[in-house]
Each structure stands twice: as C-alpha cells, then as structure tokens.
Amino acid sequence: MDMPSPRSIKTTCPYCGVGCGVIAEVQAGGDVRVRGDPDHPANFGRLCSKGSSLAETIGLEDRLLSPRVHGAPTDWNKALDLVAGKFGQTIREHGPDSVAFYVSGQFLTEDYYVANKLMKGFIGSANIDSNSRLCMASSVAGHRRAFGSDTVPGCYEDLDLADLVVLVGSNLAWCHPVLYQRIAAAKERRPTMKVVLIDPRRTATADIADMHLAIKPDGDVPLFVGLLRFLARNRKLNKTYIRTRTSGFTEALGAADAIDLYALVRLTGISATDLERFFELFAATERTVTVYSQGVNQSTTGTDKVNAIINCHLATGLIGRPGMGPFSVTGQPNAMGGREVGGLANMLAAHMAIESAPDRERVQRFWRSPRIAEKTGLKAVDMFRGVADGRIKALWIMATNPVVSMPEAENVAAAIRTCPFVVVSDITAATDTARLAHVLLPAAAWGEKSGTVTNSERCISRQRSFLQTPGDARPDWWIISQVACRMGHGAAFSYNDPAEIFAEHAALSAFENIGQRDFNIGSCAAINYEQYEDLAPFQWPRPANRQSVARMFNDGRFHTLSGKASFVPVQVAAPAATNAMGFPLTLNTGRVRDHWHTMTRTGKSQRLSQHYGEPFIEIHPEDAARFHIGDAELVRVSTGLGAILVRALITPRQQLGSIFVPMHWNDMFASRARVDVLVPSLTDPVSGQPALKNIPARVERFTAATYGFAVLRRKPSKIDATYWALAKCHGGWRVELALAANPEDLSEFVLALVGGTADVIAYHDRQSGHTRFACYEDGIPTGVVFLAPQPVAVSREWAISQLTHPDCGSRKRSTVLAGRPGSSAADRGATVCACFAVGANEIAAAVASGCSTVAAVGTATQAGTNCGSCRPEIRNIIERAERPTGPQAALVASS
C-alpha cells in the first residue's frame, strides 16, 4: 500500500471564540502536527497552549465509535429509526412542546442551522436552546436592547488601535490568550496605551493592567452607571451624537443620578481615588474599547451590566469608529454562528425575531415548512425544569455536557434520569451526561468534520476535515438531517454536504432583506461545493456584490424602529445578599488556562493536564486562617444545594470574602468536584442567563486520615478514596488522594490502585509516618504511591519522571522510596510552560542566575517562546523571585 503523502490543511481551532486559523499537517505516517495559520486574520500565525496541543487530543482513546441503545452497540438505521420514532410518537401524543433539543456553541453553523430548522419549522416548537444561554445570552439581550439587533460593533484591529482597553469580567490572558497577546504586543509598541482590568480577582490578565480595580462581585452596574453620571457632570458627553443618533438619554441619566460617589464606593468596593482615576481616564480617551465576558454576562444583572457599559459608549459616541466600542468577546468557537442561525429558544433564523409575525411568515415561506414555532421556547434552565416536571418527554442533548455545566447540576442529572427518552450526541461516552442517555449517537470530532464557525469579530471561517472519520461516527448535521428525514421531512433535509446547508443559510440571510437585518451573507447564497472548500475567512455582513464591513454602526444607523440606538435606564439595585446566613463567602467560578470546559478533550493531553493537576479553591490568606485551612489541605465547599471537595490554594490574588473554584472538574476526573452542584439556578430576568458567579457559600477544612499521591502507568478502573483527582501525565496517570479513614491494609489499597499483579516494595518512615510504595511488573515500574498523615510533600514532576526514567533498575528503587530527587536529579517544579514542559523551579533558577525579563527567561529555558500563554506567570515568578515547592507546587503555578 502506498504511504499517503504529507498534506497541509487550513482549518480553525475548535476552542475559544478568538477563532484562530490552524494549519494541520498530516505526515506521511499519519501523525498530525498543528501550527498557527500566518494568513488567518484572527491570529496571524499565533496559537495558545490549547491550540498548540490540539494534536494530542485527536486520539481514539475513549471515543464513541458506534450508536448505542441502552448501552448496547447498534447500527445507524436502528438508532435513527428509534430516535425519529420516539420523537414522532411523543409529538403526536403530547404535542410539539413535549420535546426539546439542548445544543451547543460548539456546533458548526451547519449543524446548528439544521437543528433549528427541524425544531422551529418542522416540529413546530421553539424548545431548542443552547449552552450559549449560559454564556452569551446577556450580551445578546443587551445588544438587542441597545442596537435593535444582536451586533458586535467592532473588530480585533480596534484592540491594536485603542489608547485605552477596559477589560470587565474577562480573564483574557487565559480565556482568549491570542487576543490578550495582541493587546500586550500593542502596548509594548505604544507604551502610552493603557489597560484597566475590572475583576474581583487579580488574575493573570492583571499582568498587563495599568490599573486593576478589584471590584466587589456584581458591582459592575453601579460602576458604569457611576461612570455615566461622571461623564455628564464633567461635560464629557457627545451631545451631538446623543441628540442625533440615540434615544432615551434623559431617562438613563435620571437613573444614574440616584447614585453618588459615597454609594459608589460602597457598592463597588473601589476607593474614591481609584474610581475617579478610572473615570477620568475613560473621559479623556477617545480610542477606548471596553471588552467584557463572563464576569458581566453570568449574573442576575448581566443584561443591565451590558447596557450600563454600552450606555457609556453611546453617551460619548465612542462606537463604530477605529479603536473604540463596547466589545463582547464570545466564549465558544461558534457562539456567534449559533446566534446567526437563531439557535436559541427566543430567536428565529438569520437575525429574525420569533415575536414578529411577518418574520415568522417569511422564514416559514423560505423553508416551505408545514408550521413555524409561534412563541418563545424554554430557555436552558426552564428546559431542564420542564424535563424534571414531566413537560418534556423526549430530550436530545448535542455537543454539551449539562450534568457538569448547568447550575443545580445534580437536579439536572435527576431530571435527565426521570425523562422517558434521552438522546445524547457526543464524541465520547465518557461524560457525566452521556452515561445517563438511552440512546448515544457517535459524532464526528474536530479534524473529521467540515463546516463553518464565526468568531468574536464576526469572521466566518471554515473548519476542514483532515482525518478519516473513525468507526461509525458521523457529523452532527448528518445525524440531525437523517432523523428529520425519518420523521417525514425528507424534502427539506436531503442535504448531501455542509456546503448545501451553508448556501441555504446564506440565502435565508439575504431573503427579502434590503437592509432591515444586518446579518446578510448573500454573497454566499449560490456558493457551490468547490467555492465552499476554498472559502477564505471573511467578516459579515457581506451581502451579494458587496464587501465585508469591519465596523458596524459607523453611519450612526441602528436596527431599532427609529433607527437610533437606545439608552437603557439601568437601575442600581442593592447587590444580592452574599452574606446569607451560614454562607459568609462569595463563590466565584470560571476557567483555568489549559483546560477546556468539562475536559473531554484537554483532559486527554498530558501537556495540558500539568498546569493544574486537580480541582482547587483559591482563598485569601486571612479567610484561610479564619476557617483554619492550611495550604494544600482539602476543603469542603458547600452551599444550600450540596458540597464538593477541593484542594486549598491560598493566595492574596483572591479578594477577602471571595473564593474561586474552576468549572472544569467532573466525575470523570475527580471524586466530588462538579462546582455546578453548588450553583443555584438564579437567572437574569431579561436574558434567562444563569448567575454562575457570586454565589453564597461556606468552607470547612476536611481532615483526612491519610493523604496520598500516586503515579500510575495504567488508568485505575476504580479508586476507593474519599477524595481523588485524576490527570494524564507523561507515561501514565497521576492521582491525588485522601481517605477519611485509614485503610485496613495499606498494601492492598495500593495494589487495587495500581492494578495488575505488581511486586510491591514499601518503605515506612516511622518518624514522619510516611509510607512509600514502588510497584513493578517484570522489573518495569507500574506505580509509585506515597501515603502520609498530612498532605504529601513530594515533588509531583519528579515523581512522574520516575515512571518513565530510563534507569528504573533496582539501584534506582532506593531513590524512589526516598521520595525525593537524588543528588543528581533536579526538581523542575510545577509546569508553567506547557509547550516546552518548563517547571517553576527551572524558571526561578533562571531568574536567580540573572534573567530579569520574560525574554531572557525564554532564551535561557525556552519557556514562553512558543505560544506565549505562560508569559504572565513567568513575569509573576520574576516579580516574586521565588516559588514554593512541595505539595502545593502542583497547584500554584498561577498564584
């Protein structure tokens, strides 16, 4: 057989909404390498740590390769007939609103389009909602209130051109790293450029901030209302713009007048001096971009936060021109595409409104559909309530993992368990949601499927396949269309490829649209397969025979009835009670640099699993002392809804009274760490987006009888411990452990963990109470286990290296049992640079030997010289000039 020749395919990163262009190089032997696409306008060749590690995540381990019904593999015909039959029967017996689709911003536009078309036009319900409800809904609602359309006004170039970038509730350094680096580079070129960060935590993003305003959780509405008042009182308004291009200013200012500086300090927690400095900077800078993300959207006042920000840009006319504007950055790779196809319960396709009878009639006519949803469907939180109370009797979850990511996650799981018919489409069966499904459908993954995505700056790019689809996996658009055909809608769903779907979507965007709707990509309405294959990235709108538009609203015309932008009179409400009885702390949740959501993909990469090896809580030193929590001890975090168990990471970057727990860890990777089990389903009244930050909580030290750390060659099938957390590492798996009671027989416990028939050598240090085990099979190490009455103080990186050390003969065993590096081996410390696996201690050593800049550390160690995602942390090490080692070192790379 001929070896296939090496190929290079241009595609798009499947992670965040920056939407970086990626070149996948498939080697002759089938190996894949990825690099940034130098020609892509989103990244010009750059990638972050997640993008750079994509090749590590495309293996077939844990992939779902055939449809399954009640756990048993079956063929597509049977599975599709069953899904179509059950949905059809449920609709006939209980009406169209008895079924629901819960979809995802990680769908490609073509997947999203057909799912929305099937539900709204052919089933006739609007019960299709998306995880974007947890993500972008408040921004969508805020845009629609202000602009009359869901339009992101600016583009990435504005970040280069701005003289002031205000980052609100955005950890850009970790969540949109390539944009963060773009700002950092612009600031290096033009040191007069200013960056202000507004976040209760001092995140890695603070690294480039001239000013960090550690705002009180949910203090954003008062802050921006206060800014509007300041602008008015200091004659910094653009009165011409307000008069000619906007409406409702007087009411908005009236609402703002209710708040004086004293109240502002109290509500925001920011000093009067800092408030004034920020207000003056905003007032004095024309080229100002305000970037915002989940610290804004995920709140009961999320939509008001968005409008409070937009109000300030309208009042100054800072919108629609180079280097300025409010800028909501999208989270998921296709959050924006989902909005374009209207794949949410309160939207219709192509920026048309479900409330509008003419829009409904137009879409129905275009689709030639037998019916059209007449009213808004159930939004995510209500959808799962509907599942719980029996209104929804058939549910299809696609490309999202709600048992981990939805608030009240345990109630969501219970609802799914009671639902008569649940279908899950995923690339893996190893998720907390997939294991509750009656029918599992194997989806094609990134690299195997083809379609388009739209990034934060309205840029539409192709994802292209470069791998063969394994087993029976199929693209989502195909799966949905097949079900639609089998429900009797063959004429409308007989697509041969995604190009046909994209052309239809583009045609609908231009259908009877002479400027009423800004989303218009009519230039692609007649696109054929070859043109689609070659489609270069472009920004919408791009109507037929017209160029793309980089900045919207530059003509001062908006999509409201009056054509003017609307001020929203945002009221400053008293902040939600964070000190509810018995819950004295505020729980904040979010992301870490190297994991993506529920870890189904990044959890496969050992490089990405090293930055943080286990779930953790960040807590301020004084709060830790108040609750008697020591560094690296375990903490029980609880709310009225439940409890989780995570590792303590004590850091002054966290504000007093506030704690942070990442959203990523779940039952596949830890014993009890799904943070959404703790989060109540409180939603923003306008957008229906749940408040996933700022939750009353409490903490207690969890005292274990035994703590442990293990490095194992094989993934353990079961871990019998009160606390465990599993992470991929070089050569195998690392496990953090804690047991409430001492096991009766330590060796038996170790053998069960390591698996197989290992020889076990143990060493017990009577003085410290530590016991160390080294397990071998045929002279090859299969596990190294450390157990102790306190958190285990062994260097994680060093212990991991023992599994794959070339010299693993008996001479080495004494070193392993000593539990520390021999005199010849250095302890690299916690991984900071994922690309070149450079540890904190190596960087600290470089700093100690005279490297005083990030560039110098890069020259000495290579750290930070590839994707650059770790540069804020390197700078942090330089500033502190020392790093802790020991058990917490695995955690503190970022603290």
Q: Which of 17, 121, 331, 475 binds Mo ion (CB under 5 A)?
A: 331
At closest approach, how far in Å is the CB of 537 from ligand SF4? Answer: 13
- The partner in contact with residue 13, picked from Mo ion, ligand SF4, ligand MGD, none with C-beta cut-offs of 5 to 8 angstroms by kind, is ligand SF4
229 touches ligand SF4 by CB under 6 A: no
How far is residue 292's CA from residue 309's CA, in Å, rounded to a whole number? 9
Q: Dmax over Cα atoms in the chain, in whole Å? A: 83
Beta carbons within 10 angstroms of residue 864's beta carbon: 24
Q: Is 237 in the site for Mo ion (CB under 5 A)?
A: no
d(CA 265, CA 257): 15
| Rounded (10°) CA dihedral 801, 802, 808, 813 | 150
Q: Within 10 Å of residue 8's Cβ, how many Cβ atoms?
A: 12
* Interaction residues for ligand MGD, span 680-709 (CB under 6 A): 692-694
- Judged by beta carbon, residue 559 or residue 595, the one nearer ligand SF4 is 595
Give the contact letters, 457-496, x = binds to ligand SF4 (CB under 6 A), - = no.
----------------------------------------
| Cα 626 to Cα 691: distance, rounded to the nearest angstrom | 27
Q: Find where tokens 């509750």 sit.
A: 436
Tell me which of 43, 52, 131, 706 binds ligand MGD, using CB under 6 A: 131
> Hey, CA dihedral for 796, 593, 692, 12, is it positive or negative?
negative
- Among 23, 24, 26, 51, indicate the residue that binds ligand SF4 (CB under 6 A): 51
Is residue 135 close enough to count as binding Mo ion by CB under 5 A? yes
Selected range binding ligand SF4 among 12-20, 67-75, 86-94, 435-443, rule: CB under 6 A: 12-20
- Work out how close the CB of 48 gets to ligand SF4 at its nearest, in angstroms, rounded to a whole number: 3
Cα 140 from Cα 303, distance rounded (Å): 8
Residue type, 759: D
Q: Which residues in the 443-472 window bind ligand MGD by CB under 6 A?
A: 443, 445, 449
Element (H, E) at 462: strand 459-463
Between 16 and 166, whose beta carbon lies closer to ligand SF4? 16
Among 24, 47, 394, 677, binds ligand SF4 (CB under 6 A): 47
How far apart CA 112 and CA 120 sit, in angstroms, is 12
**Cα distance between residue 52 and residue 459, in whole Å:** 21
Q: Report the C-alpha gap between 504 and 691 in whole angstroms.
A: 36
- Residue 593 in contact with ligand MGD, rule: CB under 6 A: yes
- Taking the alpha carbons at both ends of the chain, their separation in whole angstroms is 53
* Binds ligand MGD (CB under 6 A): choice among 278, 396, 596, 612: 596
φ and ψ of 761, to 5 deg: -110, 130
Pairing mode of beta strands 439-442, 421-426:
parallel
Quick check: 676 binds ligand MGD (CB under 6 A)?
A: yes
Structure tokens at 389: 């109370």
Q: Residues with Cβ < 8 Å from 396, sequence gap 6 or more?
A: 83, 87, 99, 100, 101, 102, 422, 423, 424, 425
Q: Is 110 in the site for ligand MGD (CB under 6 A)?
A: no
199 lies in the binding site for ligand MGD (CB under 6 A): yes
Q: Which option in ligand SF4, ligand MGD, Mo ion, none does residue 178 bind, with CB closer than 5 to 8 A by kind?
A: ligand SF4
Asked if 67 is part of the footprint of ligand SF4 (rule: CB under 6 A), the reply reads: no
Distance of closest approach, residue 596 Cβ to Mo ion, in angstroms: 10
Q: Which does 19 bind (CB under 5 to 8 A by kind): ligand SF4, Mo ion, ligand MGD, none?
A: ligand SF4
Segment contacting ligand MGD (CB under 6 A): 169-177, 530-538, 628-636, 845-853? 169-177
CA atoms within 13 Å, Cβ hemisphere of 357: 0
Q: Residue 51 CB, nearest distance to ligand SF4 (Å)?
A: 2
The upper half-sphere exposure of residue 850, i.e. CA atoms within 13 Å in the direction of its Cβ, equals: 1
Q: Which does 18 bind (CB under 5 to 8 A by kind): Mo ion, ligand MGD, ligand SF4, none?
A: ligand SF4
Residue whose pair of structure tokens reads 């998921």 in the numeric block: 332
Q: Does 218 bind ligand MGD (CB under 6 A)?
A: yes
Binding partner of residue 26 among ligand SF4, ligand MGD, Mo ion, none, CB cut-off 5 to 8 Å per kind: none
34 HSE (CA, 13 A, CB side): 28
| Total site size for ligand MGD, rule CB under 6 A | 61
* Conformation bin of residue 543: beta by default, left when phi > 0, alpha when psi is -120 to 50: beta
Q: Which of 588, 639, 655, 865 binds ligand MGD (CB under 6 A)?
A: 588
Residue 441 to residue 68: CA distance in whole angstroms: 7
Say whether residue 337 binds ligand SF4 (CB under 6 A). Answer: no
Q: Which is nearer to ligand MGD, 169 or 325 (CB)?
A: 169
Sequence-ordered list of residues with C-beta below 8 angstroms from that of 609, at least 6 positions apart, any chain:
594, 595, 602, 603, 727, 728, 729
| Closest separation in Å from C-beta 275 to ligand MGD | 14
- How far is 503 from 110, CA to CA, in rounded Å? 10
- Write out the E strands in 275-403: 288-292, 325-328, 394-398
- Of 785, 794, 706, the closest CA to residue 750 belongs to 785
Q: Which helix (H) or strand (E) holds 212?
A: strand 211-213
Contact partner at residue 427 from ligand SF4, Mo ion, ligand MGD, none, CB < 5 to 8 Å by partner kind: ligand MGD
CA distance 566 to 246: 6
CB of 113: closest distance to Mo ion in angstroms?
Answer: 20
Q: Which residue in the shown chain puts its C-beta closest to ligand SF4?
A: 51
Q: Which of 376, 374, 373, 217 is nearest to 301 (CA)?
A: 217
Beta carbon nearer to Mo ion, 331 or 590:
331
DSSP 244-308: HHEE-HHHHHHHHTT--HHHHHHHH---HHHHHHHHHHHHH-SSEEEEE-HHHHSSTTHHHHHHH
354 touching ligand SF4, by CB under 6 A: no
DSSP conformational letter for 632: T
Nearer Cβ to ligand MGD, position 504 or 676? 676
- Tell me if 589 contacts ligand MGD by CB under 6 A: yes
Q: Which stretch binds ligand MGD (CB under 6 A): 254-262, 455-463, 484-492, 588-596?
A: 588-596
Q: Report whether 660 contacts 590 (CB < 8 A).
A: yes
**Under 8 Å between Cβ of 719 and 655:** no
Residues 161-220 that bind ligand SF4 (CB under 6 A): 176-178
User: Which of 26, 82, 134, 152 is the binder for ligand MGD (CB under 6 A)?
Assistant: 134
Q: How far is the CB of 722 from ligand MGD (least distance, A)?
A: 23
The nearest distance, CB 9 to ligand MGD, in angstroms, is: 17
By CB under 6 A, name the one of 12, 431, 655, 815 that touches ligand MGD. Answer: 431
With CB under 6 A as the contact rule, the residue among 19, 200, 690, 872 that binds ligand SF4 is 19
DSSP, collapsed to helix, strand or coil, labels residue 121 as: helix
- Where in 316-335 is the site for ligand MGD (CB under 6 A)? 331-332
Q: In this chain, which stretch among 41-49, 340-348, 556-564, 714-722 interacts with ligand SF4, using CB under 6 A?
A: 41-49
**Contact (Cβ atoms closer than 8 angstroms) between residue 223 and residue 268:** yes
Residue number with CB closer to Mo ion (125 or 405): 405
13 binds ligand SF4 (CB under 6 A): yes
Of 217 and 615, CB closest to ligand MGD: 217
Where on the chain is the footprint of Mo ion (CB under 5 A)?
A: 135, 331
Where on the chain is the footprint of ligand MGD (CB under 6 A)?
A: 16, 104-106, 131, 134-135, 168-171, 174-175, 198-201, 203, 215, 217-218, 220, 293-295, 298, 331-332, 398-402, 404-405, 425-428, 431, 443, 445, 449, 476, 588-591, 593, 595-598, 600, 663, 675-676, 679, 692-694
Where on the chain is the footprint of ligand SF4 (CB under 6 A)?
A: 13, 15-16, 18-20, 43, 47-48, 50-51, 176-178
